[in-house]
Structure 1
Amino acid sequence: MNKIFEYTSIFAPFINDFIHGKELQGYKATQLKWMLLEFDKFFTQTFKKDLFISSGDVKNWVGTRTCDKPNTLYQKYCAMADFCRYMCLLGYECYIPRRPRKCFANYTPTIFTHDQMRTIFNVCDNLAMKEHHAKSIMIIMPALIRVLYSTGIRISEALSILNKDVDFDRKVIVLNNTKNRCQRLAPVNETLEQVLRQYISYRNRIPTPGVANPDSHLFVSATGRPCSRRTVLTYFHRIIEECEIPRRCDQRGPMVHEIRHSTAVHSLIKLTRDGVDLYCSLPLLATFMGHRKVLDTETYVRLTQEMYPEVLKMNAEVTDQVYSFIISKLKQDYENRCD
């Protein structure tokens, strides 16, 4: 067990076994470890001496989480409930907390237009350093952004690609470290292949031993080390500013992940214009995006001006007439009920 995740409460051996069982099932347990570490510290601070979690213990723990967002608290409730259920299976009767109602995020991503994506590519190609930074990742940005847009993969999946995962013979990138813990293939078209070959040729000139080894990362900094998501986000914000793409009023974006949203929308546009029926295109898009369910893909697909400009440019007079008609019908129904 990592030294960061050293559990000290009376539940420590059970927590370690619980996490180990999850990992054997292929579960990515990093977030679970952090949440259970929080529970463990709470039980240590409250001097818990018996192997029993009561409803009062859960209530007292919730009282310490007043700063957590609703979705974060929901995830912690789920982790606590799973662990209590595990303890019950071992013969230690514990109170299984009821999960609170899940709050769905009202986050609306930015969908880049085709023109905006071309501008982003152009800015990436013309990035220049004002001063020397040995750890700069500027070399990867033109290729990385094109990989994200062409394949629709997540930024975490892109940064975990190894050199051996790029198969130019089969025209695919093998993705092993995915969100759903399932290996999948990302297609590589001719344009993306040219971009990757050019990037690899320049990257291999970095005077760092092993940068071209099959087990080394594809996207590395100027020192040959793997890149972090935070650093990529910093460069992406700089690119967005140079493209003069406005931020939302909440100042949260656009984020790198919104390239994936844009890819989903643009792919659906292309399928629709090619005459593919919507009920056939959504399953295809779900497979391309690496989703297990079509419902997951539907959250990525949004009505944009590029898809249906005639709908979004409807004259206000038309909508006003519809609105007036609905109001008149409601008033008429109300008067009839009163009579």
Structure 2
Amino acid sequence: MTPLELVEAYTDDHDLRDASTKIYKAAMNALKRHFGEEIDVGAIERRQILAWRKLVLADGLSKRSWNTYSNHLRTVWGYAIEHGILPKTLPNPFKKTTVVAPRRPSKIVASEAIHQARRWLMSLVDEEHCTGERSKITPAWFWLATFEVFYYTGIRLNALLCIRLKDVDWDRKLILIRGETEKTHREYFVPIMEGLEPHIRAILDAAERCGFAPTDQLFNVNRFSNHYRRAEMNSDQVEAMYKKLIAKLGVRMTPHRFRHTLASDLMKQPERNIHLTKSLLNHSNIATTMGYIEADYDHMREVLHERSLLQGALLLVRRADETGAPGTNKHQVQELAATEPLRLEHGPGAPVDPATQELAAALLQLQFDRAGTEPSLPPEELFTPSLLFTIMSSTATTPYSRTGSGGSSTRFAARASP
């Protein structure tokens, strides 16, 4: 069996989108260029695949592109072996032939860049309205609406191109995304949010004035402007609009990057609902959704900071005094302890009983004596029970005696080490 016959058998047996079929055929065409069109696919061995991999990577093919070839061809060979097209005893020559690719650069579009793009498009809308002349992106109102659909919903470019007039349920504020446009082959709905409503309303009103039929492509710039001649809008026209945005702002911006941005933004919300994000992006599994989410380092820093607070790690951090003021010594600590009552977290303004006051002074003096240093005095708000426990744990080798009777305040007296 030739490579062409094998890939056609696979694509004919599967309900693939046109874009998916194109990827499988592209991978097989790459194999044909190396092995020849008439090679028997059953005769290809793993060592030959590894030699091919070494050659194309040395010629400059990216590791990510090679992995695309390897994964798709492994799937095709697996299908052929499973269904007896190739001998069932034949090992899959593409098994474990991928390589470790470098991490992808971030696909998140910064919020400020999105705001700048939105403001520019809105200025073009005003410009066309006031002058009656074409702007750099025309008709500006249509492209602003298209921009906002990608921003608010995160749908794929192909999904937008396949929305029909009847797919918009204005009463329920929903847009149907049809299954044939999706990798999962499942149809689903996206909500029309408050910010998106005026743009969808403008598209629907314009479609009504132009006499759209229910099955007509809704987002079709060719029907809304006499400067275009196509029957239906295609991806090239949408990508041309984004190229103008990129040229204006100097920031990489595409519909697919809006999907990544939406996923990451949703996971920064207090709820961080991964299942909601998965449903909105129409992924078949959460692992795919997680691949769209960028790490939130600000949130990560906050969580780690909260951990250090809960465990008392910050209480004993020594910080350099850059003011040049003389350091606080143990006599100042004792004086402050005698004149400034400590405050407890559980009662704002409630003074600590004398026993606890005595304990704090004794423990601080003992710690300073052991360290042989005179660290700066922590601020008043750090004199909390957690501080006392932390100091006690740091001086755990020193024995303390407990005095007092039932019902009275418990006292501890520090005893000198033997």
Say whether residues 1:154 and 2:156 are aligned partners.
yes
CA spacing shift, 1:27–1:217, aligned 2, 3 Å? closer
User: What TM-score comes out, normalization by structure 1 length?
Assistant: 0.68
2-structure distance, mates of 1:166, 1:268:
27
2:205 to 201, 211, 228: 201
Listed one character per residue, the Cα deviations across residues 94-126 of structure 1 (whole Å, up to 9, x for unaligned) are 45223223425331133432x554443232223
2:174 to 156, 172, 175: 172
2-structure distance, mates of 1:83, 1:297:
25
Where does residue 52 of structure 1 map in the other structure?
43
Aligned residue for 1:22, secondary structure, equals coil
Mapped contact 1:53–1:95 kept (Cα < 8 A): no
Amino acid corresponding to residue 74 of structure 1 in structure 2: N
Where does residue 212 of structure 2 map in the other structure?
212
Where does residue 121 of structure 2 map in the other structure?
124
Say whether residues 1:296 and 2:291 are aligned partners.
no
Listed one character per residue, the Cα deviations across residues 43-74 of structure 1 (whole Å, up to 9, x for unaligned) are 435x5368522335434543653332111111
Say whether residues 1:238 and 2:244 are aligned partners.
yes
Aligned residue for 1:108, secondary structure, equals coil
CA spacing shift, 1:51–1:131, aligned 2, 3 Å? farther
Superposed counterparts of 1:99-138, under 5 Å: 99-103=97-101, 105-113=103-111, 116-127=113-124, 138=140
Amino acid corresponding to residue 162 of structure 1 in structure 2: R
Mapped contact 1:32–1:79 kept (Cα < 8 A): yes
2-structure distance, mates of 1:308, 1:116:
24
Superposed counterparts of 1:261-300, under 5 Å: 261-269=260-268, 271-272=269-270, 276=271, 278=272, 281-299=273-291, 300=293
Mapped contact 1:137–1:227 kept (Cα < 8 A): no
CA spacing shift, 1:296–1:81, aligned 2, 3 Å? closer
1-structure distance, mates of 2:100, 2:168:
39
2-structure distance, mates of 1:294, 1:91:
34
2-structure distance, mates of 1:25, 1:155:
14
Where does residue 75 of structure 2 map in the other structure?
82
Structure 2 gaps, min length 5: 223-227, 304-313, 321-418
User: What TM-score comes out, normalization by structure 2 length?
Assistant: 0.57
| Per-residue deviation, 1:186 | 0.6
1:70 to 63, 71, 88: 63
Mapped contact 1:164–1:214 kept (Cα < 8 A): yes
CA spacing shift, 1:267–1:15, aligned 2, 3 Å? closer
Mapped contact 1:154–1:257 kept (Cα < 8 A): yes
| Per-residue deviation, 1:33 | 1.9
| Per-residue deviation, 1:42 | 4.1
Amino acid corresponding to residue 245 of structure 2 in structure 1: I
Listed one character per residue, the Cα deviations across residues 8-51 of structure 1 (whole Å, up to 9, x for unaligned) are x7344333212212337999422112212333454435x53685
- State the superposition RMSD in angstroms: 4.0
Mapped contact 2:63–2:99 kept (Cα < 8 A): no
Give aligned-pair identity as a percent: 16
Where does residue 96 of structure 1 map in the other structure?
92
| Per-residue deviation, 1:143 | 0.7
1-structure distance, mates of 2:49, 2:120:
52
CA spacing shift, 1:25–1:199, aligned 2, 3 Å? closer
| Per-residue deviation, 1:183 | 1.2
| Per-residue deviation, 1:262 | 3.0
| Per-residue deviation, 1:147 | 1.0
| Per-residue deviation, 1:175 | 0.9
Mapped contact 1:171–1:188 kept (Cα < 8 A): yes
1:185 to 169, 183, 189: 189
2-structure distance, mates of 1:254, 1:192:
19
CA spacing shift, 1:25–1:205, aligned 2, 3 Å? closer
2-structure distance, mates of 1:156, 1:221:
15
Aligned residue for 2:276, secondary structure, equals helix
Amino acid corresponding to residue 197 of structure 2 in structure 1: E
Q: Detail structure 1 runs of 4+ shifted over 4 Å in the superposition.
A: 24-27, 128-133, 135-139, 203-206, 307-311
| Per-residue deviation, 1:136 | 5.7
Superposed counterparts of 1:327-338, under 5 Å: none
Say whether residues 1:35 and 2:31 are aligned partners.
no
Amino acid corresponding to residue 217 of structure 1 in structure 2: Q
Mapped contact 2:154–2:255 kept (Cα < 8 A): no
Mapped contact 1:140–1:220 kept (Cα < 8 A): no
2-structure distance, mates of 1:172, 1:144:
16
Structure 1 gaps, min length 5: 1-8, 248-252, 312-317, 325-339
CA spacing shift, 1:94–1:15, aligned 2, 3 Å? farther
